[in-house]
Structure 1
Amino acid sequence: MPAEFLKIHPQNPEPRKIQQVIRCLQDGGLVIYPTDTVYALGCDIHNARAVERIARIKGIKPQKNDFSFICHDLSHIADYAKVSNSAFKVMKRILPGPFTFILLAGSRVPKVLANRKTVGIRIPNHPIPLQIVHELGNPIITTSIKDDDEFMEYPTDPEIMFERFQHQVDIVIDGGFGGLIASTIIDATTDDFEVIREGAGEFIY
């Protein structure tokens, strides 16, 4: 059965539609959703089969995944990653925002994601994913939707994403056109913060 194309207001997400997404995620569904950078593919991090489905779509083995996940706020992050005082201060200053922080993994990271000692954490400045995570009660996977177009690495039109992925995912959220630049990735596993990918966010430490 093809995915549902679900329009959600990007600034004032309709609660009824957010609940529809929550039910899908709780049932092991895959969702394409907007962030403050590019569109992403995600699922509930505690559903191993859903994580495996995303790995198949990305063409990787589940054990080799490098998926990051979206948290609702800084207190949420502490449940899944080890955050030093210095990292906390930096994150408090610039999040929500277009940054991914690489941190040492915490004890609550699910086994299917715990193949590495580190995890990538995002708190995007976008109401839709933040509301989804808040209502769900735990993080969701975030992995960027890539395009085969040599001129444009990330697709921006939800309708085009629906055409491409409608038989692989369960919901494609239309929250307006997406961005073209992914998040800036910062290694915060030590207090010698290192930008390992320049992206949409300008990191000044």
Structure 2
Amino acid sequence: MAQYFEAHPDNPQPRLLKQAAALLRQGGVLAVPTDSSYALVCQLDDKAAVDRLRRIRQVDEKHHLTLLCRDLSELASYARVDNRQYRLLKQATPGPYTFILDASKEVPRRVSHPQRKTIGLRVPDRKGLALLLELHGAPLLATTLIPAGESEPLNDPQEIRERYEHQLDAVVDAGACPLEPTTVVDLTPMYLGGDPQVVREGRGSLQALGL
């Protein structure tokens, strides 16, 4: 039975999010609100939790998972980032963007893309999630909470609780999220002097990135 934490969207209670962070450290999988939609999250270095996250979402190892980072310096620890890429990342963080980059050795091979050795990374702009990341003290592995066979992410924490109460360890309710997913940009072509490739246009403005 999933625990249910009702956090204030603008002034999240640290006491509740400390409990959520403790569940993550124990190998939990949680549903949390982001600046684009609700997402499933777990610890990066917990194989059993990562496997559970994939089973709940019903995606295989080729599905790009995303690392949620506290800030840009943390993001750069988990990916190879050159000066051109860094300048673009600085424009877009925090915000509703996911960037595909070459994973560094800090990322376990089982969570990077098996052929490309890439990982999705982002710095979300949502107070409750930022505090959870701070309390956890490390990035969280995430995937958008889209039920199997459906195309839209879930937005109602009560519905998430009802549908997943026997699969999740907790749901963090901090109000509704936007239904629009993140904008996804592949930055790996920039290593060879190429241009960023837009994989998916979503909530993040491409114009703000000059794309």
TM-score, normalization: structure 2?
Answer: 0.90
> C-alpha offsets along residues 54-102 of structure 1, whole Å, 9 cap, x if unaligned?
11112234x4342111000011011110111111111111210010000
SS where residue 119 of structure 1 aligns? strand
**Aligned partner of 2:81 among 83, 100, 115:** 83
**Segments of 4+ in structure 1 off by > 4 A?**
147-150
Establish whether residue 105 from structure 1 lines up as the match of residue 74 from structure 2: no
Name the counterpart of 2:204. 201
Q: CA offsets, 1:146-184, max 9 Å, x none?
A: 14797x712211000100011000000101012111000
Unpaired segments ≥5 residues, structure 2: none
Aligned pairs, number: 202
How far did residue 7 of structure 1 move?
0.4
In structure 1, C-alpha distance between the alignment counterparts of 2:165 and 2:48, rounded to whole Å: 19
Write the letter of the residue equivalent to 2:117: K
**Match of 2:123?**
123
Q: For 1:49 and 1:11, how far apart are their aligned partners in 2?
A: 33
- How well do the aligned residues superpose, as a CA RMSD in angstroms? 1.6
Distance of 1:166 and 1:64 partners within structure 2: 27
Give, as a single letter, the amino acid of the residue that structure 1 aligns with 2:102: L
Residue 111 of structure 1 and its aligned partner are, at CA, apart by 3.3
Select between 85-94 and 140-149 the one with higher mean Cα deviation. 140-149
When normalised by structure 1's length, the TM-score is 0.93
The verdict on how the C-alpha distance between 1:47 and 1:149 changes in structure 2, with shifts beyond 3 A counting, is: closer
Secondary structure (helix, strand or coil) at the match of 1:172 reads strand
State the distance in 2 between where 1:148 and 1:22 align: 26
The answer as to whether partners of 1:98 and 1:200 remain within 8 angstroms in 2 is yes
Distance 1:147 1:59, change over 3 A: closer
Q: Which runs of 5+ in 1 are unaligned?
A: none
Distance 2:108 2:10 in 1: 31
Q: Contact 2:57/2:145 (CA < 8 Å) preserved in 1?
A: no
* SS, match of residue 125 in structure 2: coil
1:170 alignment partner in structure 2: 169
Superposed displacement of residue 131, structure 1: 1.5
Question: Greater shift after overlay, 82-91 or 111-120?
Answer: 111-120
Cα distance in 1 for partners of 2:81, 2:109 equals 20
Match of residue 66 from structure 1: 64
Kept after mapping to 1: 8 A contact 2:100/2:120: yes
